[in-house]
A and B are shown apart, each in its own frame.
Chain A
């Protein structure tokens, strides 16, 4: 069963156009994730900065 499954997966990944579509989808998700990570970090820094000002005030 596992051997057939491996064969099926190999056949799927052998199709270049399909592989390109998969890679493109993964890339889009990764870019979205990178942007999302950047905004999360930006929000953290902004809160830390305002928080520090607040403590000084």
Chain B
């Protein structure tokens, strides 16, 4: 707005920074936010990379990844739940009350149901409850609208589902193992394989199955197919092509038609580069989304993967949400640059003096305002992993219903 009187194309270069807003639930699950840029410089010719990764200015604690509540929860909540389950079952075993109860009227199914409910209730209140408070604090801090409340509610439901699945595993292992120690050993093994091992393994599998193209090679292709500055030979070819379109033999004839050759050339190059960006950068991002989808599909292998994939999507810090900002900023950049070029095209230079515009044109461009995707996007992203988590719940309940009646005093 304050650029004064200048060439519209120069104004498109002295453009703006677009900022990706911090979502309220990023305190609950930062997702990919610390690793991706938060700002992008919007200008003519190029779709710039995002700048300023939060991790660049983070503290030692944040750099270790220990300031990620959801990450800690998904990895270490199983230990706490298993400790509770072990305690609940081992106590009855040591005191002999389990055998007493089983030999009396109580059924194995009822005993298991009570223990699973008790363990899940305590773990949910203590762990998921603490995290829900962090989510609510994030909402208060970020001054968020109703969407964030729904996201917190969904996140807490998913966390509760995760805790219940773990409680089923913990109690059943305790009840079915020949000794309490064997049961705890089995649970530790489950934690190592299904949580600590499964999360990086699923990520590696997604990367191996859907490898990302080399970012450097993509940059080289962008530079080759959509250069910001082109050679005089390419410029001459394009000018000839554009003049043919207008039936003009030279620039003077175009001027007579009140068409600015430079404006046409800039517009042509811009639209060409936009198609290249869609092809190259778009393919790169689609591949990242593919990886995320595959990672989410592997949620059927472990409840930890299911919750991990759903968590960032519900918090609004997964790649799909980040891509919405990239796309929003890029659409704004294109509209801005195309408008500047459109102003240039019908205004050829007069007596060698280039056309300039002023605040009236700048005022036509609205301020960049990015509205992060709503909860429906979060549900779309997390539907797969949430279904898998529900599947784990059903399998756990069915397994409990099947094996617990066989418990003997």
Contact = CB atoms under 8 A, between A and B. Distances in A.
Contacts of A35: 59, 61-62, 66-67
Interface string A16-52: 0010011101101110111111011101100100110
B126 A37 contact: no
A26 B170 CA distance: 19
B88 A12 contact: yes
A18 B67 contact: no
Contacts of B69: 29, 32-33, 36
Interface residues of B, number: 48
Interface string B76-88: 1100100110011
Nearest to B66: A32
Given A33-B69, A36-B67, A40-B138, A5 B114 contact: yes
Interface residues of A, number: 34
Contacts, number: 121
A24 B134 CA distance: 16
5 contacts: A12-B88, A22-B80, A22-B122, A36-B68, A39-B27
Interface of B: 2, 16-17, 19, 21-22, 26-28, 30, 38-39, 54, 58-59, 61-62, 66-69, 72-73, 76-77, 80, 83-84, 87-88, 91, 114-115, 117-119, 121-122, 126-127, 130-131, 133-134, 137-138, 141-142
Given A26-B130, A35-B62, A36-B69, 19 more contacts: A8-B115, A8-B118, A22-B126, A25-B77, A30-B130, A30-B134, A32-B66, A33-B133, A33-B137, A35-B59, A36-B27, A36-B134, A37-B137, A39-B62, A40-B27, A47-B39, A51-B17, A51-B19, A54-B16
